[in-house]
Structure formats: C-alpha cells, structure tokens
Amino acid sequence: MAFYFEEVSHTFNEYLLVPGYSSEHCIPANVSLKTPLVKFKKGEEPAITMNIPLTSAIMQSVSGERLAVALAKEGGVSFIFGSQTIEEEAAMVARAKNYKAGFVVSDSNITPDATLADIIALKEATGHSTVAVTDDGTCCGKLLGIVTGRDYRVSRMDKATKVKEFMTPFDKLICGEENTTLKQANDIIWDNKLNSLPIITKNGNLKYMVFRKDYDTHKENVNELLDKEKRYVVGAGINTRDYEKRIPALINAGVDVLCIDSSEGFSEWQKRTIAFVREKYGDTVKIGAGNVVDREGFLFLAECGADFIKVGIGGGSICITRETKGIGRGQATALIDVCKARDEYFEKTGVYIPVCSDGGIVHDHHMTLALAMGADFLMLGRYFARFDESPTNKVNIGGNYFKEYWGEGSNRARNWMRYDLGGDKKLSFEEGVDSYVPYAGSLKDNVNLSLMKVKSTMCNCGALTIPELQQKAKLTLVSATSIIEGGAHDVIQKDTTTNKIK
C-alpha cells in the first residue's frame, strides 16, 4: 500500500504571518536581506553571500546575460539558461562577467579603414558608443585611436567617410600603462575629465578600457554583487547529460556558481553530476541541485554534496508537471518539510546547506512567507520574465504590452535534458506551456518595490534579518473565506484612470 502523508499539501496563499512586537529599531532602513547562496560550516562564512534573496530561473525566457547583469547590480544572482549549446552559454557567461570588471576587454573595435557606416552598425550591434580603433580591428591590436559620439555627426557627414579621418588619434589620447591600478585609472579619468581610459601594453597594444560610467554605476548600486576581481557574480544552469564538457567551459568563462537544471532532483543522474564536480574540482566549484519536495530528497542531495538545494515541483506558473504526471507537492508544505530537514542536518553535521524556494510565488507577500518558512533565497521565473532585461520580445496585444514567457518543458524550449530519465534524446510530452506575462518595466524599479514590501513585513514581525524572521515568524493557515476577506470586498471600486465605476 502507498505511503500517505498525513498533512494536506498547502500553498503560500493559504498562510498569513501574524505580527510580532516591533521595537523602535524595526524600520525598513535597518533591515538586512543578506543571505548565503552556498553551504558553509558552522562558525565559517559562506563562499558566496547574496545581498538580496533573489535568483532568476534557469529559463530561456528569463535568464540571459542582460538580466544577469541587472540582477547582480541589485545584489542577486541570475542562472543563465543551459538549454543552448555549450559555446553559446559560455559566451553569455563571459559577456556578463566582463560587463563591468573595472578593466573591461573592449567588445567594440574597428580598423582605421572602416567607414562611418561601419561605426553606426557596430554601435547598433553592441549598444556602446566608444569604439577602439586598432590596426587589426581586434580588442588586443595596436591602438591607433578612439571614436566616440563626439567625433562624428551622422546628419553632416558622408557615411562612406573613413574612420581614420574623424577618429581621435593615438597621439591625442591619454592612456594608462598595463600595471595601472583601478584606483589610479579612476583618478586619471577624473583629473582629465575623461569618459574612458584605454589601458595599453608597453608595445602599444590595447589591453583594457576603464569607463567613468562604471564608477558612477557602482556608487548608484550599493548592493551590487561582485567577485574578488570586482566583476558581477554570475550563475549558470547545467544538465545531467553533457556536464563533463559543459562545466569546464563555463568555469573557463568565469562562472561563479552552477545549478543542475532538472524537474526532479532525487535521482542517480544528479548524484553522478555532483560526483564529477567533487572529483575534478573538489569544493572550489559551487553547484546547486534539485528540485525536491520532501525530507528524503533533501538528505539525498545533501549527502551527494550539493552546495544548495532547490525545493519545488509543479508550482511554477508555466509548469504543468502536476497536471500531466501527477507528481509534486504544495510549495509551502514542501518548503516547510525540507527546511526542517535542513535545520536537523545542520545540528547533526555542522554544515548549513541553503534552501532555495523555486516556484509558487504569485504575489510579493509570498516572498516573505517563503523566507519565514525557512527558505534562504528564492528562484523566480515569471517575476523576472516581465522586465525589460529578460531576453524575450515585448508585444502589443489589444493595446497592452506583454512579454513572452515559456516553460523549459514546453515544445518551444525543447529542453529534453532537464527531464532526463535515461531515455531517448527527445521530449516525449510537454510539462510546460507557452504564454505571455504583463510587461512591468525595469528590473531595478520592480525589485526595489518588492523588497521594500518584504522589509516592511519583516518589521511587522519584529525581524531585521532573514534568520531572525525565521526564528520569530508566526504563521497561521487561513480558510477560503479568510482569503476573500483579505482583499477588497463589499465595495464598488473606482477606476482611478477614468474616475468611473468598475
């Protein structure tokens, strides 16, 4: 006879937080959302700590290089999708890592014999207005000059004009030597009122570019998440098929943390993948695993050596795994069960393995509920798919803007590898849908708003840190009637845009 769980499977929407005592210090400005990304031993610091508890899902329609940069600026980590070729994913990681390193390898380069038309095309392709002119048109060729927007006017010049005729030539440039420190480079930029500073070798070859805007950006984004070389922290998804080739390529590209992208993590395939990492790289390479929904699944991946463990099966907005296969568990119940096992494992071994809640987040207050239930951080798909920085198209439907959003288990994604059961290389049936989500604007504005709600709720619970929230939180189940009571009811709402009754 099958095993039956005694408790009903619950979702976040079935819980509310009960307020606790709030002292005079409990104000949002005093709240810290720092949280560990990877496991650590008692008394030690984790190798990677995030400044906000948000990561982006390993999905084609969510986590590209642009979103990776935007989320790292806010203090979180994006896991660039792995359902692409090894070369394409590694290139995405490399571009995100090199976006802002203080010293940036130039990706906008041209020869002096190119034309203004080539400059315009290059700017459209890269989005960058500063172009290095080198003898061979590469990022490491001999520097001959620089072209910026101040050097030409499209409306007044023939597009066939050669670059060498309007570039700022080398003898008029201020450059830094290859041993120049970042502080020295920024001082040169400020003292000479420059927008950029080329760093060249003793032979005159271009090595790096340092930009004024990167210094300004750092000051604007106080929570940005950087590695030891002041590059953005970037994650990447892998599968349990080609990991022996994909992982080395991603490491060479500079990836900071990996995560196995799978619909179900309680498997021999994940054990083998983690074992490969530990045998080849020891503990120097960080790798998360999942997804699981109960104590057994957590303990299995913990013993395998996972650096963090994801919780959630079938709770995503585009996931139909529960509908098609009948497996999964309500996200709240799964999270509570796994986090209890995580705490017991910590008490027994002295090793703390962070838990990631993946799926089931519909409203902003669900974020706080997930953290209170024990999650160290969240992985979000639909939430990030709505923003400018996601890699999908913005479309106008009926006068309203939407962004495309599809599941990794859909035919559009064709990501059969995350559903690896050791069979043929094909997707037998869909476990995800193809859809649209309402366009919401920039990541920065939305993340700041969502996290302000999280901080405010934490203050209501008398907590200034995530561990304190988990210790002090009081949760109550709510009835269907209570859920209705929690929204606007028994009134006729006014449409504030038209002043008409809805």
Nearest-Å Rg of the Cα atoms of the chain is 25
Q: Which amino acid is it at 260?
A: I
Q: Which amino acid is it at 256?
A: D
Sheet holding 131-134, edge to edge: 109-110, 131-134, 143-147, 168-169
Q: What are phi and psi of 59, to 5 degrees?
A: -140, 145
Bridge partners for 395 per DSSP: 402
Active-site residue identified among 319, 339, 356, 459 = 319
Q: How far is Cα 352 from Cα 307, in angstroms, rounded to an integer? A: 9
Which has the closest alpha carbon to 459: 143, 12, 20? 20
Residue 418 annotated among the catalytic residues of the structure: yes
Contacts of residue 457, defined as CB under 8 A and 6 or more positions apart, other chains included, come to 17, 365, 368
Which has the closest alpha carbon to 288: 311, 270, 302, 308? 308
**Residue 499 C-beta-side C-alpha neighbours within 13 Å:** 0
Which has the closest alpha carbon to 179: 209, 200, 194, 205? 200
Q: How far is Cα 112 from Cα 134, in angstroms, rounded to an integer? A: 7
- Six token digits for residue 88: 């394409």
Residue 385, classed as helix, strand or coil, is helix
Active-site residue identified among 246, 342, 386, 418 = 418
Active site residues: 319, 418
